[in-house]
């Protein structure tokens, strides 16, 4: 399962509140459709994963919930994240309602982490949406709240209205898009950066430079990319629906990449594999 990182929410007076722990490594299920998703989660839990990252927008919360139930593993041992869909992020009550819908889809009584999937399109919706997230936290629907795809300016603005700052900011991070500025801005509000698409959606895994780095340390290219993200302090959630690759990715935790760290850092290419709302106004 890998290390646990401390999660908390910084309040305006600088205190930490609603503290918990998150496994630094987990399984992402973006683009994992229904039956594939359920099977992937079952394989992952069997292999030792204890952290699953889904979202309402992925349309597979139900399958994640079924797999958790079928695994027979105690709910309290599995860390489950879901996300408030961007076009549902329009206000306080709507946020609470959508959180309850995600819980119903998953068949769970609480989420370990609930994220605003992207900065609400209409800037006037950001404050009331976050207030709805805070109410989800205070009422125990969720154990931690955070954001996803927020840029440094979105995070800074939150200081003006948040009673609890986010515990996490999840955005695309990998050796070809390293984002030291956004990672630092995330840490500056007391949040942990969380790397989605740590494999750049598989689009860079045949990079010859990466292949030669991986060969030097007897690892696979995917393992090198995953371990690099972990070494930066990021929570890291590679997606796979293939049993062997699910196990291969978990094994990255045991890799020593210190001899090739500088070479990996030189892969920076400003390469966005998906979308990037962090630069939106």
Residues lying near ligand A2P in the complex (CB under 6 A): 28, 197-202, 205, 220, 222, 238-242, 245, 248-249
Q: What is the largest CA-CA distance in the chain?
A: 54
Going by C-beta distance under 8 Å and a sequence separation of 6 or more, which residues neighbour residue 36?
241
Work out how close the CB of 274 gets to ligand A2P at its nearest, in angstroms, rounded to a whole number: 8
CB of 54 within 8 A of CB of 87?
A: no
- Of the pair 68, 246, the CB lying nearest ligand A2P is at 246
Catalytic residue list contains 58: yes
Residue 242 CB, nearest approach to ligand A2P (Å): 4
Name every residue whose Cβ is closer than 8 Å to that of residue 218 and which is 6 or more positions away in sequence.
Answer: none
Nearest-angstrom CA–CA distance, 264 and 257 = 9
Catalytic residue among 58, 150, 164, 196: 58
C-beta closer to ligand A2P: residue 95 or 241: 241
Residue with tokens 């699910």, as numbered in its chain: 246
For residue 201, the minimal CB distance to ligand A2P (Å) is 4
Beta carbon nearer to ligand A2P, 96 or 251: 251
Element housing 20 (H / E): strand 16-23
Determine the 3-state secondary structure of 83 from DSSP.
strand
Give CA–CA dist 246/70, Å, rounded.
18
Residue with tokens 């609480």: 110
Please, which residue, 182 or 200, has the CB nearer to ligand A2P?
Answer: 200
- Give least dist CB 197 to ligand A2P, A: 4
Residues identified as active-site: 58
């Amino acid at each position: 399962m890998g290390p646990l990182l401390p999660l908390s929410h910084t309040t305006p007076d600088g205190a930490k509140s609603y503290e918990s722990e998150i496994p630094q490594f987990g399984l992402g299920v973006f683009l994992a459709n229904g039956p594939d998703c359920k099977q992937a989660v079952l394989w992952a839990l069997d292999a030792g994963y204890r952290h699953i990252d889904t979202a309402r927008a992925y349309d597979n919360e139900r399958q994640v919930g079924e797999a958790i139930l079928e695994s027979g593993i105690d709910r309290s041992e599995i860390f489950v994240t879901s996300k408030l869909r961007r076009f549902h992020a329009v206000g306080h009550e709507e946020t609470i309602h959508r959180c309850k819908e995600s819980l119903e889809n998953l068949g769970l009584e609480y989420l370990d982490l609930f994220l605003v999937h992207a900065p609400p399109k209409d800037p006037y919706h950001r404050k009331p949406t976050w207030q709805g997230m805070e109410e989800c936290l205070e009422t125990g629907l969720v154990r931690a709240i955070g954001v996803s795809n927020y840029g440094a300016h979105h995070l800074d603005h939150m200081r003006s209205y948040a009673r609890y700052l986010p515990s996490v900011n999840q955005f695309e991070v990998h050796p070809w898009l390293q984002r030291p500025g956004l990672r630092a801005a995330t840490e500056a509000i007391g949040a942990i950066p969380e790397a989605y698409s740590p494999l750049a959606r598989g689009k860079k895994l045949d990079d010859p430079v990466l292949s030669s780095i991986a060969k030097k340390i007897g690892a696979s290219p995917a393992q090198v990319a995953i371990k690099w993200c972990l070494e930066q302090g990021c929570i890291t959630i590679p997606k796979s629906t293939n049993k062997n690759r699910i196990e291969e990715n978990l094994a990255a935790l045991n890799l020593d990449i210190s001899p090739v760290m500088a070479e990996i850092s030189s892969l920076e290419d400003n390469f966005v594999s998906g979308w990037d709302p962090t630069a939106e106004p």
